[in-house]
A and B are shown apart, each in its own frame.
Chain A
Amino acid sequence: MKLVKTDEARIGQKAARDVIDLRGNLLFKAGTELSAELLDICKQRTISHLFIEDSGGDTPKSPVDVQAQRESLLKEIDRTFAGLEGNATMTALKDASQRYLTAKLIK
């Protein structure tokens, strides 16, 4: 996934994340292929940047790759939160972080 200026996004690229305007309206979902019309809508809504799937993003990730990335990510999260195991608020934050980041990985 990469972040590009809306002006530099190309027709045919795929949005890597849901695109939401200032008022919280969903304009289109992650995975949607960008069309000239969608890019115009983004510009009208003054969305300056879009998260775009990398060139390899067109190919679905294999389950083995996703699993390996997930394990690596969970280890990183464990390392980041090390030493805070007895803190209930930080444990809840860590759990939420795991849910959020692993969901992003699958997208």
Chain B
Amino acid sequence: MEPNPHQLVQEKVRKLVDRIQGLPTLPVMMTNINQMILNPRTSPKEVAHVISNDPSLTSKVLRVVNSSFYGFPNRITTITHAIVILGFNTIKSIVLSSTIFDVFRRTVKPGDFDRTQFWKHSIGCGAAAKAIGRRLNYPMLEELFIAGLLHDVGKIVMDQYMPEKFAEVISVVHSRDCLIAEAELQVLGATHAEVGAWLFEKWNLSKGLIETTRCHHNPALAGENQKLAEVIHLADILIRAMRFGNGGDNKIPAISETAWRSLGLQHSDFDDLFVQTNAEIERAMVFLDFIK
């Protein structure tokens, strides 16, 4: 029997990621937190104890929870307090973001893929997703921000673990002035979206994060996570239109007509979404501290 298109893509991704040597596993601490949170008997103090064993992480989490991103009037001084106020899932998201920034940290040379611009694009996408979410009364703005922040992580995987091939991708982007996903398909046969989703599957992260990452260029394929993927799809395009950061190319993909209809937005909403995204970006810039 002929393999279906999905199986063909999966096979290409498998061949691609087979070339990746030494991809880090999700740090044990993150795995432990994931398991602890699944247990309804886990107390904030127990999770705080695990996080507090890492002073650098503790300081980053406290910096974020005390930033204008959350905007609490009183200072939060302990991780236990932060968990009580913000909840397990929010703290888990902050820890996951910090962990990913750390796992994919490396010294860059002039001419390398610009990681600062990349993370700015990612933070901007998270901020735009929150602005769209507010407009739609989406219930979980935190989920939108993290999905936006991490949607392009496959690019960093490729840049770090197959740098020659990724440099070829960037070279094709420059010579053809095309979208990075088109160049990836030409050079590698699969895109950052599939590679990022594969990593998140390996790391046993949430289905929503996996499918949004995989389908942010084609949200109709995201199944039960379609709405989340539609928001991230639009956020990625809005932040390109705002020219904030850079994910590796200078082009903009068309907004999926299905997604646009499904979200129910109007063309006249764009101006206000830009203003609201700009305000969200200013609050979210504390996440750029993670790369320092």
A83 CA / B281 CA spacing, docked (Å): 29
A87 CA / B260 CA spacing, docked (Å): 12
Contact residue among B177, B270, B275, B286 (Cβ-Cβ distance under 8 Å from A49): B286
Question: With a CB–CB cut-off of 8 A, which chain B residues contact A38?
Answer: none
> B279 and A24: CB pair below 8 A?
yes
> B250 and A80: CB pair below 8 A?
yes
* Given A48-B67, A79-B177, A89 and B271 contact (CB-CB distance below 8 Å): no
* Given A90-B254, A90-B255, A47 and B271 contact (CB-CB distance below 8 Å): no
> B68 and A84: CB pair below 8 A?
no
User: Across the two chains, which residue of chain A brings its CB closest to B251?
Assistant: A80
How distant is A104 from chain B, measured CB to nearest CB, in Å? Answer: 9
Q: Which of B275, B285, B288 is the most central at the interface, judged by chain A CB atoms within 10 Å of its CB?
A: B285
Question: Is residue A2 within 8 Å, beta carbon to beta carbon, of the partner chain?
Answer: no
Question: Is residue A36 within 8 Å, beta carbon to beta carbon, of the partner chain?
Answer: no
Question: Is residue B242 within 8 Å, beta carbon to beta carbon, of the partner chain?
Answer: yes
Question: With a CB–CB cut-off of 8 A, which chain B residues contact A96?
Answer: 241, 267, 270-271, 274
Question: With a CB–CB cut-off of 8 A, which chain A residues contact B68?
Answer: 21-22, 45-48
* Given A84-B252, A84-B254, A89-B267, A94 and B71 contact (CB-CB distance below 8 Å): no
Question: Is residue B283 within 8 Å, beta carbon to beta carbon, of the partner chain?
Answer: yes
> A22 and B283: CB pair below 8 A?
yes
Question: Is residue B54 within 8 Å, beta carbon to beta carbon, of the partner chain?
Answer: no
Question: Is residue A92 within 8 Å, beta carbon to beta carbon, of the partner chain?
Answer: yes
Residues in chain B within 8 A of chain A (CB atoms): 63, 66-72, 177, 237-238, 240-243, 250-252, 254-255, 257, 260, 267, 270-271, 274-275, 278-279, 282-283, 285-286, 288-289
A-B contact pairs, 10 of them (CB 8 A): A21-B71, A48-B63, A48-B286, A49-B282, A49-B288, A84-B252, A89-B254, A89-B267, A92-B267, A93-B255
5 A-B pairs besides A48-B63, A101-B242 with CB distance below 8 A are: A46-B68, A46-B70, A80-B243, A97-B270, A100-B242
